[in-house]
């Protein structure tokens, strides 16, 4: 399945590549150039298709679980000061999304959006230590029925400059459902209460909507 965020880009790319192939076949009688152009066009379009794939995911709902909001690799697990909303210490867990990962972002818990804010910013590489506070990003806080709050950020990177979100402050959301999309990969940070049991390790691969990152106390 192809995500709706890719429709316009895929159609535009297909048109441009088709024109390129047509021009080469029309103007050149060199078969090697014709077939090289055709092969390159197919490869490029295939890469764009995989960028926007949207596989079905099955989330096992659990009020105590914090589910991975994105596919990728765990690159940070550390205690930090979270200054924007909590103004206190939290466990930061960061997932790096490469251009080859699924780029759909999902709600890590069920509850109500108690805070949402979009921040324009820079486009440092996603693994830069200051990308969480300097880059273009969104900040979302979900409060569950027990009153616990989880904050997570969509963060743009050097290539990923198109953050999309489908939620607003006050919305009721369900664990595992789509909340947004980051085109061409980047990073998602999750901020958890101190004492939360972490179920993943550095360099571990995650599947959005399925991998259990942590268990709430």
Residues 55-63, mean pLDDT to the nearest whole number: 94
**CA–CA dist 214, 101 (Å, integer):** 21
Confidence of residue 185 (pLDDT cuts 50, 70, 90): low
**What pLDDT is attached to residue 159?**
59
Listed residue (140, 136, 106) closest to 212, CA to CA: 106
Residues 170-183, mean pLDDT to the nearest whole number: 94
**CA–CA dist 183, 123 (Å, integer):** 13
**What pLDDT is attached to residue 123?**
62
For residue 113 the two structure tokens come to 């959006």
pLDDT greater than 90 at residue 135: no
**What pLDDT is attached to residue 50?**
84
Residues 53-72, mean pLDDT to the nearest whole number: 95
3-state secondary structure the chain: CECHHHHHHHHHHHHHHHHHHHHHHHHCCCHHHHHHHHHHHHHHHHHHHHHCECCCCCCCCCCCEEECCCCEEEEEEEEEEECCCCCEEEEEEEEEECCCCCCEEECCCCEEEEEEEEECCECCCCCCCCHHHHECEEEEEEECCCCCEEEEEEECCCCCCCEEECCCCCCEECCCCEEEEECCCEEEEEEECCCCEECCCCCCEECCCCCEEEECC
**What pLDDT is attached to residue 124?**
64
Give just the sign of the alpha carbon dihedral 216, 186, 141, 71: negative
**What pLDDT is attached to residue 131?**
58
Query: How far is the first Cα of the chain from the last one, in angstroms, to the nearest whole number?
Result: 36
Q: Catalytic residue positions?
A: 186
Confidence of residue 6 (pLDDT cuts 50, 70, 90): confident
Q: Are strands 149-155 and 186-192 parallel, antiparallel or unpaired?
A: antiparallel
**What pLDDT is attached to residue 51?**
82
Confidence of residue 161 (pLDDT cuts 50, 70, 90): low
**What pLDDT is attached to residue 48?**
86
Contact indicator for 203, 73 with CB cutoff of 8 Å: yes
**What pLDDT is attached to residue 129?**
59
Neighbours of 172 (CB within 10 A): 10
For the stretch 92-133, pLDDT in tens is: 999 999 888 998 999 999 999 999 999 987 766 655 556 566
pTM of the model: 0.86
């Amino acid at each position: 399945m192809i995500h709706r965020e890719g429709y316009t880009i895929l159609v535009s790319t297909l048109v441009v590549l088709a024109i390129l192939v047509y021009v080469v076949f029309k103007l050149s009688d060199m078969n090697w150039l014709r077939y090289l152009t055709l092969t390159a066009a197919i490869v490029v379009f295939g890469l764009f298709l995989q960028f926007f794939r949207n596989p079905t995911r099955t989330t096992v709902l659990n009020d105590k679980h914090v589910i991975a909001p994105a596919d990728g690799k765990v690159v940070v697990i550390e205690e930090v000061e979270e200054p924007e909303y909590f103004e206190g210490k939290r466990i930061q867990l960061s997932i790096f999304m490469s251009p080859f990962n699924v780029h759909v972002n999902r709600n890590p818990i069920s509850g109500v959006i108690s805070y949402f804010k979009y921040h324009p910013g820079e486009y440092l590489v996603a693994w830069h230590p200051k990308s969480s506070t300097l880059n273009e990003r969104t900040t979302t806080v979900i409060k569950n029925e027990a009153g616990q709050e989880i904050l997570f950020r969509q963060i743009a990177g050097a290539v990923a400059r198109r953050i999309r979100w489908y939620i607003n402050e006050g919305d009721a959301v369900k664990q595992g459902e789509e909340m947004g999309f980051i085109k061409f990969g980047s990073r998602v940070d999750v901020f958890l209460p101190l004492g939360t049991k972490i179920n993943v390790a550095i360099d571990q691969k995650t599947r959005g909507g399925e991998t259990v990152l942590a268990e709430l106390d």
